[in-house]
Structure 1
Amino acid sequence: MAVPGWLARWPRLAGAGRLAWPRAPRRGAGHNRWSKVRNVKGPRDAERSRTFQRLALLLRSAAREGGPDPALNPQLANVVEQCRANNMPKASIAAAIQSAERPSPDTRLLCEARGPGGAAILLEIVTDNPRRSQRDVRLLLAQHGWVPGVDPGVRGGPRRPALRACPPAHRGALWEAPRGGFEERGVVRVAPSDGQGRPLGLEGALETALDVGATDVEEDDEGEGLKFLCPPGALCAVARALEAAGLRPLEAAVEFVPRARAALPGPAGERARRLLQALAGRPDVARCYHNIQWEEPPPPQ
């Protein structure tokens, strides 16, 4: 077969009388630097950024309510300890506290949502637009199929997710216990082993709780350690006593603990997990509590 004159000037392309298009480069096995950045470092940095953003919201809110001095503001001191436990930079902590001195329209709300089988979610929201935040959270609940029931206190009303805002009774009150199935408790999470590396059992932890002034000990759903429950006013004293007893406190904070657990098996449990992950991604949701009893450990959020 004769090769055209214009093609004879490129011998490499005139192998069989037709153009030989360059082959696509082979794809590697994925063991390169960019794949690690995209699949490992990227999600980890995004989660770290969301955690720091929530802690900064809590720092500003606590500083506005009780002052910028952690020695005179126990709630601010507890949030600062949480920041240190999450390796938040010291400069970021100081900047968040100083920003509380500037006037800001931020509002702190507690919103409770009801789910199937007696499940409940309690959200701590810090936002500059409460109406917008409640509307977005209500829409998010509806998208995940959570509680399309009648709004509490409205007979024959439209079917909508039950969401109740529980604002503080007065400006000086930083926490307001809701009327649902949660109670305000101090929670100190400790490592599964003591300072000498010995594993910490539940029976030994109960004896330690009696000595340090804690009221109860439970297994931590978020980790492998234990959590000591105490009154909110005794949180700092219990944390110091546990450290003096040889344990390793990881985090100390005032939280809302459910009075009773509700099991959600099957598709309802999967929808609840996706809902909690979606709520954790919202920047105005500072904390999220629930009373759901998982059949297996939930994925990390």
Structure 2
Amino acid sequence: MALVVGTLLRALRTLRLSAPAGASGRLSVPQPVLSPLWRRTCPFRTVHVSSAVCAGHNKWSKVKHIKGPTDAARAKLFLRFRLLIKVAVREGGPNPAFNVNLAQILEQCKRKSMPKASIDEAINSVGKTKPLLQHNYCVQGPGGCLLLVEVMTDCTSHTTHEIKRVVFKNGGNMTDKNRNVFEQKFVVVVPGQDVTSERALELAIEAGAEDVQNTEDEEEKPQLKFFCAEADLHKVRGSLEGLGMQIEFAGSEYFPRSCVSLDDDQMEAAAVLIEALNNNPDVLQVWDNIQADS
């Protein structure tokens, strides 16, 4: 029987608090296997007693001629870091010692081996360019799938024109009526290598997270995502660091409330559209509601 992770975490907290202080035996708790992001049954994140899915699983693996929307992931990641650095510097200044958001972004840049010259250029360019604004566009793609396109730009009219051009050229349509399909959540992401499902649950309990989930990064390396309220983000991050975990990201992401399945042709068309959107330098991220086992 599938259990919602948040409920399980609360139950485990209760069990820990109620365990006798002098108990000699270990507390016996279920040891479920966490379901990775793209293997869950939408819209719920559940814990399944089943074999763990290999880290290399990718929902784009059936697309024969396109590796997926992550082909240029490294270059795209650096571009995103440049934009985020500029926003952080504008909001809190160029000194990471007094700018927590900037310090966090710089940590991520170093872990991903972003060249120091590129980091310094992004910091020093602030004030020489126009202010950046963030926008989201909702797109309907092949097979009725929905995409949420997150952009950061200094020229909204130009970016909107380019997004529309790419969408129409690749068989999609702009829409606003289904924007609520995506829900913004706050997460702290850490490497998932060599972390068992039991240990992941323990970390979530000790850090005060509401939920935990297995997933993969853009290079298909295993990760753990710890979910929490926005107000608890800094506390959960600090707790995980105190528990010896390396923080890869802490902030907000978008997750679909419901998913759709696509056939092979629709899957390939969706990959082409997402890849084309990601090639736009103003696009930070493209979120989708495509079922993993399409």
Give TM-score, length-normalised by structure 2: 0.64
How big is the shift at 1:60?
0.8
Out of 238, 241, 245, the residue aligned to residue 239 of structure 2 is: 241
- Counterpart position of 1:219: 214
Q: Does 1:180 align with 2:180?
A: yes
Q: 1:279 aligns with which of 258, 277, 280?
A: 277
Asked whether the 8 Å contact 2:108–2:249 carries over to 1, the reply is yes
Determine if contact 2:211/2:226 at 8 Å carries over to the other structure: yes
> For the Cα contact (< 8 Å) 2:210–2:226, is it kept in 1?
yes
Measured in 1, the distance between the counterparts of 2:192 and 2:197 equals: 10
Query: Structure 2 CA distance, aligned partners of 1:51 and 1:128?
Result: 19
State the Cα distance separating 1:208 from its structure 2 match: 1.8
The one of 145, 155, 168 equivalent to 1:119 is 145
1:13-28 equivalences in 2 (<5 Å): none
| TM-fit CA distance, 1:179 | 4.9
Distance 2:124 2:270 in 1: 37
2:124 maps to which residue?
Answer: 98
- Decide whether the 8 Å contact of 1:189 with 1:225 is kept in 2: yes
Indicate whether 1:142 and 2:168 are aligned: yes
Structure 1 counterpart of 2:233, which letter?
A: L
Match of 1:200 in 2: 195
Q: Is the 8 A contact 1:212 1:242 kept in 2?
A: yes
**Structure 1 residues 242, 118: CA separation in 2 closer, same or farther (over 3 Å shift)?**
farther
Equivalent in the alignment of 1:189 = 189
How far, CA to CA, are the matches of 1:109 and 1:251 in structure 2?
21
The alpha carbon displacement at 1:279 in A equals 1.7
- Contact 2:142 2:269 (8 Å CA) reproduced: no
Larger-gyration structure (1/2): 1
SS of the aligned residue for 1:96 comes to: helix
Greater RCO (Cα-Cα under 8 Å, separation 6 or more):
2
1:56: how far off?
0.6
- CA gap 1:56/1:294 in 2 versus in 1, 3 angstroms: same
1:47–1:228 distance in 2 versus 1, CA, 3 Å: closer
What is the 5 A alignment of 1:12-91? 48-91=74-117
Distance 1:143 1:260 in 2: 26
Q: Which runs of 5+ in 2 are unaligned?
A: 1-69
After superposition, the C-alpha distances for 1:105-135 in whole angstroms (9 at most, x for unaligned) are 5432222223356532222212232222212
1:73 CA displacement: 4.2
Give the corresponding residue for 1:34: none
Aligned residues: 222
Counterpart CA distance in 2 for 1:283 and 1:78 is: 22
- The alpha-carbon distance between structure 1 residues 128 and 216, as it changes in their structure 2 partners (threshold 3 A), is same
Q: What percent identity do the matched residue pairs reach?
A: 36
Would the aligned equivalents of 1:269 and 1:294 in 2 still touch at CA under 8 Å? no
Q: Which amino acid counterpart does residue 185 of structure 1 have in structure 2? A: K
Partner of 2:22: none
Could you list the per-position Cα deviations for residues 217-249 of structure 1 after superposition, in whole angstroms to 9, with x for gaps in the alignment? 112143323221223343343233223224343
The RMSD of aligned alpha carbons is: 3.0
Distance in 1 (CA, whole Å) between partners of 2:234 and 2:106 is 12
| Shift, 1:72, TM fit | 4.7
CA positional deviation for 1:283? 1.0
Unaligned residue ranges in structure 1 (runs of 5+): 1-43, 147-160, 165-177, 194-198, 297-301
Distance 1:58 1:246, change over 3 A: closer
**Matched position secondary structure for 1:220:** strand
How far, CA to CA, are the matches of 1:72 and 1:256 in structure 2?
28
Q: Deviations over 1:132-189 (max 9, x none)?
A: 221221221222222xxxxxxxxxxxxxx1245xxxxxxxxxxxxx952223322222
Corresponding residue of 2:136: 110
Residue of structure 2 in register with 1:162 after alignment: 174
Q: In 2, Cα distance between the equivalents of 1:45 and 1:124?
A: 19
Note if contact 2:260-2:290 (Cα within 8 Å) is conserved in structure 1: yes
The letter of the residue matching 1:134 is T
For residues 241-260 of structure 1, the aligned pairs below 5 Å read: 241-260=239-258
